[in-house]
Amino acid sequence: MAKRKAKATKTAAKSGRPRSPSGSSRKQGRAIKGEIPYSTIVRLAQYLRILERLQTVGTGKISSNELAREAKVNSFLVRKDLSYFGEFGVRGVGYEIKSLIREVRKILGLNRERRVILVGVGHLGRALLSYKGFAEEGFCICGLFDSDPAKIGTTVRNLEVRSIFTLEEFVESNGAVEIGIIAVPAFSAQFVANTLVAVGVKGLLNFAPIPLTAPPHVITVSVDLTTNLEVISYYLSQR
Amino acid sequence: MAKRKAKATKTAAKSGRPRSPSGSSRKQGRAIKGEIPYSTIVRLAQYLRILERLQTVGTGKISSNELAREAKVNSFLVRKDLSYFGEFGVRGVGYEIKSLIREVRKILGLNRERRVILVGVGHLGRALLSYKGFAEEGFCICGLFDSDPAKIGTTVRNLEVRSIFTLEEFVESNGAVEIGIIAVPAFSAQFVANTLVAVGVKGLLNFAPIPLTAPPHVITVSVDLTTNLEVISYYLSQR
DNA sequence: ACGTGTGAAAGATTTCACAGCG
DNA sequence: CGCTGTGAAATCTTTCACACGT
């Protein structure tokens, strides 16, 4: 078949509530009509991680079988996942790791920096702030917000903690923000989500254990830590 | 139809890798042949959270419609999810919140305490340790482990940090542990998983960004934080 | 020969429609 | 009458088999 960038990418998918799976939770989320499955996108991100790890030691090439073994899925699925977006391999040979990394990064929109703000500078928020993986993939946490007067004005990792009520002026003077991470208690999560949406944030990563309501154009992914343990508990008791 | 406890609970499901979705992760995980869907279990845990929140303010009764609205799913799904396990509602009326909570907790195996150990006392590990939700649902973090000599011997939240190499003797003297939380870097996650499995841990909650290999009787749920952001990035670039 | 790419089959989950019962 | 419980249909995802290209 001739080269073709994406086979079916007309109607952008709306929103997801993945489990996490990797637990996250949850996270569920189904593909919208004739769309690329949500789970394909999750796996693509996992393939990318594996490829980046292998890049430093690898031979330069990888087959769908090898990638599948690393990702603990089967090789048909690896090929199917990739084939939604184009033909990246060479028959009889496999995929060139470096170029596959480039392609997957492009698919996932990682070829540019994304400005992120973090709301909720508690234990979890601080842990997320110090998490290396975000910066490595181009996610730049550029603002910290909280509602606790004792925290506002303090500096954490070179970033000033601001009042959530100053969010609008922050965006006006510092430029648009694409993603908001919500690491606040359940009772204030929806308020924070509304505030973020109001200033133009288009993606929410929610760690509060409550399902959020957001307009359909805002992507919402929730990670529910307790839910994941409860799921384990269920399977433990099934024996 | 006559009362019947569980419709299909013969072959216990094996393992899942949910996204979290609730990010986590990821995390996918499909039901095994004729089994109860993994996603049903995740939603059950979410329903439980909602019910517990509503219990304090509610009228005592809830319909599948109301619960569905809170959980952002549709009411058919709520009823189907519950019907896998029994008939808990009253036709024409709805579900009694208190008794539904009791039933769901029983289904999820939350009617007893589960001993949990945490490996990796970095930022994320500490955040998990201080996370309220775990204890509330009966998950008791009873041991901390790390490999950093600077941390071993220190005390965090009344728990001594121990060397991962003393895990076996910890289990021997303190009793069995059912669940292990892995909050270590990717390069040591598989080693930690192996160590945990070797001392009899039956459930793993993995925060390292790498798919783990574990025997089929060990439930593994992964929460991959970066993956969740990358998924958001994908949907952001689809417009 | 070998491994990718993909249409078609199989399998799983969700939605629907309605019977059933308080 | 209203809302649950559920078989059947619709939809979505994964698996498979094999044609194709190098």
Over its length of 239 residues, how does chain B's per-residue pLDDT go in tens digits?
Answer: 333 333 333 222 222 323 223 343 333 345 555 589 999 999 999 999 999 999 877 679 999 999 999 999 999 999 999 999 999 999 999 999 999 999 999 999 999 999 999 999 999 999 999 999 999 999 999 999 999 999 999 999 999 999 999 999 999 999 999 999 999 999 999 999 999 999 999 999 999 999 999 999 999 999 999 999 999 999 999 97
Q: What local confidence, expressed as pLDDT, does residue A56 receive?
A: 78
CATH of the domain at A191: 3.40.50.720
CATH of the domain at B46: 1.10.10.10
Euclidean distance between CA atoms B22 and A205, whole angstroms: 9
- Angle value at C-alpha B212, between A228 and B198, nearest 5 degrees: 95
**Residue A25 near residue A223 (C-beta atoms within 8 A):** yes
Asked whether residue B60 is domain-assigned, the answer is yes
Q: Which residues of B touch A45 (CB under 8 A)?
A: 224, 226-227, 230-231, 234
Tell me: do B225 and B132 sit in the same domain.
Answer: yes
Given B80, B107, B134, the domain boundary residue is B107
Euclidean distance between CA atoms A188 and B179, whole angstroms: 30
Q: What local confidence, expressed as pLDDT, does residue B120 receive?
A: 98
Sheet holding A26-27, edge to edge: A26-27, A18-21, B23-26
Asked whether residue B89 is domain-assigned, the answer is yes
Asked whether residue B9 is domain-assigned, the answer is no
Task: Give me the residue from B17, B233, B238 closest to A110, CB to CB.
Answer: B233
Residue A212 DSSP label: P
- Segments in chain A below pLDDT 50: 1-30
- Both tokens assigned to A231: 């799921």
Tell me: do B121 and B227 sit in the same domain.
Answer: yes
Tell me: do B159 and B77 sit in the same domain.
Answer: no
Domain count, chain B: 2
Tell me: do B102 and B124 sit in the same domain.
Answer: no
Asked whether residue B86 is domain-assigned, the answer is yes
Asked whether residue B8 is domain-assigned, the answer is no
Q: Which residue of A has its CA nearest to B133?
A: A226
Task: Give me the residue from A50, A137, A235 closest to B226, CB to CB.
Answer: A137
Given B47, B73, B107, the domain boundary residue is B107
Euclidean distance between CA atoms A219 and A188, whole angstroms: 19
Q: Which helix (H) or strand (E) holds B228?
A: helix B225-237
Asked whether residue A106 is domain-assigned, the answer is no
Task: Give me the residue from B27, B71, B228 closest to A211, CB to CB.
Answer: B71
For residue A183, the distance in angstroms to the closest alpha carbon of chain B comes to: 11
Contact B25 A12 (CB under 8 A): no
Asked whether residue A186 is domain-assigned, the answer is yes
Q: Which residue of A has its CA nearest to B104?
A: A234
Contact B18 A18 (CB under 8 A): yes
Q: What local confidence, expressed as pLDDT, does residue A159 receive?
A: 97
Tell me: do B101 and B122 sit in the same domain.
Answer: no
Contact A71 B43 (CB under 8 A): no
- Angle value at C-alpha B226, between A62 and A163, nearest 5 degrees: 160
Q: Provide, in whole angstroms, the distance separating residue B2's CA from nucleotide C15's C1'.
A: 25
Q: Which residues of B touch A231 (CB under 8 A)?
A: 16, 18, 38, 41-42, 45, 108, 221
Tell me: do B150 and B90 sit in the same domain.
Answer: no
Q: Which residue of B has its CA nearest to A204?
A: B232
Tell me: do B22 and B61 sit in the same domain.
Answer: yes
- Angle value at C-alpha A223, between A219 and A226, nearest 5 degrees: 155
Tell me: do B207 and B172 sit in the same domain.
Answer: yes
Euclidean distance between CA atoms A22 and B28, whole angstroms: 7
Tell me: do B95 and B143 sit in the same domain.
Answer: no
| Burial (CB count <10 Å: 0-12, 13-18, 19+), residue A69 | middle
Find, among A131, A84, A137, the residue nearest to A111 by Cα.
A137
Q: What local confidence, expressed as pLDDT, does residue B58 receive?
A: 64
For residue A181, the distance in angstroms to the closest alpha carbon of chain B comes to: 9
Strand C nucleotides within 7 Å of a protein CB: 1-7, 11-17, 20-22
Tell me: do B97 and B125 sit in the same domain.
Answer: no
Asked whether residue B5 is domain-assigned, the answer is no
Task: Provide the residue type at A41 as one letter.
Answer: I
Tell me: do B62 and B100 sit in the same domain.
Answer: yes
Q: What is the pLDDT of residues A140-156, one digit of tens each?
A: 999 999 999 999 999 99
Q: Which domain holds residue B218?
A: 114-231
Give the position of tokens 């309220």.
B132
Given B54, B73, B107, the domain boundary residue is B107
Tell me: do B90 and B173 sit in the same domain.
Answer: no
Q: What local confidence, expressed as pLDDT, does residue A8 receive?
A: 32
Strand D–CB B39 distance below 7 A: no
